[in-house]
Chains A and B, each alone.
Chain A
Amino acid sequence: MSGKRDAAERIHDFLEVDTGLSENNAVLEASRCMECVRPKCIEGCPVNINIPGFIAEVVKKNYAEAAKILKADNMLPAICGRVCPQETQCQGRCVLGKKERPVRIGALERFVADWEREQGIVTPEVGKPTGKRVAVVGSGPAGLTAAAELARYGHSVTLFESLHAPGGVLTYGIPSFRLPKDIVREEIDQVLKLGVDLKLNHIVGRSVPVDELLAYDAVFLGMGAGLPSFMNIEGEGLNGVYSANEFLTRVNLMHADKFPDYDTPVIKGKKVVVVGGGNVAMDASRVARRMGAEVKLVYRRRMEDLPARLDEIKNAVEEGVEFMCCANPTKILGEVAVSGIECVKMDMGKLDESGRPVPVPMSGPDATFMLDADVVIEAIGQSPNPLLLSLMPDLERGRHGTVFVNAAGMTSILHVFAGGDIATGAATVIEAMGTAKKAAAAMNEYLTKISE
């Protein structure tokens, strides 16, 4: 089995928690695959990787071929193998899961990708140049996938990124103990080697005006859902209150944990309260733990309702994050800086459409409680950043500020396509990649049609 570093040890650093499969274990695990005639696992994968195909090559220890099969459908396998929620995707459909436990597809994908990176990466071939110019906005998982697919079709791709480093949430959001940054960089470099022209520090809508963007033969919008939500309660303006985006960006992108070697500061709280129950809340809690804080996580529903991945919840518990469920903040306390947080206990009401109980604040003198805190991190969700969309009034909008797209990823503007969180609202890395891949295929079809 793949190894996991002990919590007592890993809590002191940002090195990867999961150490991956050894070669022997990978081959053993791969040999469990039944090689189904009609494999359900492929359907469960948002980018439809030929899973039995690559696993069969692992059994034969033919790792180079396995890598080639993986990369035919997914240029970011080392990333996906690590951060995909396989339990609800490929592995959730594996027939072995009905009787025993499913094949550990994610761990095998990671093993193959890591093997190839150590051996030296083979860049896949790209199609004959089509002469078509394509703009991709945003270099997160959606933009990288669209850029890679479009480059392989032979189009000339310009990838615009507003930050100083590519990767979107892979770089600024997911901490290195889940996703090491050198692996992210190497995997992104593979995409760039396909001939993609990356333009950093370019804010589309500002550095690249909308008319300049629309002058490309086709456009893919993959700006994600990076606008943090706040709770709109008293005290959010106090020093020490962070959005999870800000806290994680300071640490993951700007290395504030290594201040003063790096210049960006961040408050190293002694008592940190994280609000929320998704993967971002787990990441923020675990980062704060590694920076030496005592961490309490406040979530308004029950433990079993936490939307985060089960593995990450387990990791957070092992690392000493204290979960305070069925509670919701009502006020952040303090004069200049945060000194505490006031919460109300929540009653679980009727189940909503998603099957989760509707939390209802309790009343009475025992319903509220206070927690000491010097840092409060809000991880209660993100929505699409309106900056560029506000400059494109012709673009039809979906719910919650997203861009409306059809099943193929086409927007209301003929040559503009979109995918990832900007189209779906905040979702997972692999779902972003799945929608981007579909959109890239539709873009290729469109570009082929207009050249005929």
Chain B
Amino acid sequence: MVYEIEKATQIADNIHEFWINAPQVAGHGKAGQFLIIRLDDSGERIPLTISAVRGDSVRIVFMAVGKTTKQLAAMKAGDCIKDVAGPLGNPSDTSKIGNCVLIGGGVGIACLPILAKALKAAGNHVTGIIGARNEKLLLLSDELEKECDELVICTDDGSRGYHGFPADILKKRIETDRIDAVWIIGPAIMMKITSMATLSTGIKTIVNLNPIMVDGTGMCGSCRVTVDGKMKFACVDGPEFDAHLVDWNELMNRQRIYPAMEKESAELYAADPHRQDGINGHADGHADGHGHVCTCGLSKANSGNIGKNGNNGNNGKTGNGVEN
């Protein structure tokens, strides 16, 4: 079994929207959950949040900043990914809550439409507040506008909508509106700062954490986070947690365990995208147990125009943290 990329679109500078055929993930994936991919035999396992599901296909949106995400970005429709596992983690609570505010930052914006849709279907009033550096990074905002009752757009540079951060809008809304729950999805630093707005209000505030993962099924503890003083595994106990109980400094510290190795890996890939081809030849008939002969070929074509690092809070080899 390999997993075919059905559609690969670059939707912003360095940011890509992929639809992947993975029936076991798409058939059961819900808002808040993630999947884990491994591109080939030499690859690492990286977590990516499920951005949408349709039929047998699942959508991911990711920023190409590390080795694995750059390699993925260079793949095209028709190419195959060796492993896609999921859905993983607990789905979001999308019961009837009342007035819900969904805040997205960076690539995290792309995780909101599926959540907004589920919350609206349950009878909630949904307000989206999204923020990005500039207009071009407002990912899937047309789609999100359709799923939300109201959408507020913020840009750091004022190129569209409110000139400033979603946290500013949230603070104003807390004064004027009754808010029952807030979701914040984005880089850790953005989730930390934005969640401070609700700290003394008693408003339920949920964040989708993005620590480094390996298996994603609860067997290693790489993704451990401290929540309310207790050790939790984000992959099975989360990835959603109460924002006000998260030890943010520990999370952000643990996202930076391997900076030098991530850099080395990315640089080697940039210098020669084919250097691992020997390992990733099609001789590995054992890996899927049936001597499967892959006919699709894992494209190693270099897109050649990999841009600068994004601001999504995950460094180097992005893929090690859930791509929010």
Contact = CB atoms under 8 A, between A and B. Distances in A.
A4 interface: no
B42 A261 contact: yes
A239 B261 CA distance: 14
A-side interface mostly: loop
B88 A206 contact: yes
Contact of B231 (A232, A240, A264): A232
A205 to B, nearest CB: 10
A162 B265 contact: no
B242 interface: no
Nearest to B43: A263
B28 A209 contact: yes
Nearest to B250: A237
B220 to A, nearest CB: 4
B246 interface: no
Contacts of A385: 217-219, 236
B300 interface: no
B38 interface: yes
Interface stretch (A17-25, A29-37, A243-251, A348-356): A243-251
A265 B261 contact: yes
B-side interface mostly: loop
Interface stretch (A68-76, A87-95, A194-202): A194-202
Interface in A165-214: 165-166, 182, 185-186, 188-189, 192, 198-203, 206-209
B83 interface: yes
B60 to A, nearest CB: 15
A228 interface: yes
Interface string A261-283: 11111010000000000000000
A188 B287 CA distance: 11
B67 interface: yes
A407 interface: no
Contacts of A164: 38, 45, 82-83, 85, 287
Interface string B252-265: 01101110011011
Most buried by B among A206, A255, A264: A206
Contact of A230 (B221, B222, B264): B221
A200 B220 contact: no
A254 B214 contact: yes
Contact of A202 (B24, B82, B218, B279): B24
A293 to B, nearest CB: 16
Given A164-B287, A200-B83, A206-B86, A239 B221 contact: no
B146 to A, nearest CB: 28
A142 to B, nearest CB: 15
Given A207-B85, A239-B256, 16 more contacts: A162-B217, A164-B38, A164-B45, A166-B289, A201-B24, A203-B87, A207-B28, A230-B224, A236-B224, A237-B247, A237-B250, A239-B254, A240-B257, A263-B42, A263-B67, A387-B217
The 10 closest A-B pairs by CB, nearest first: A246-B220, A226-B219, A263-B44, A201-B85, A265-B261, A207-B24, A164-B83, A185-B286, A198-B289, A264-B44
Interface of A: 162-166, 182, 185-186, 188-189, 192, 198-203, 206-209, 226-228, 230, 232, 236-240, 242-243, 245-246, 249-250, 254-255, 259-265, 267, 336, 385-387
9 contacts: A162-B85, A164-B82, A164-B85, A188-B286, A189-B286, A259-B261, A264-B44, A267-B257, A387-B218
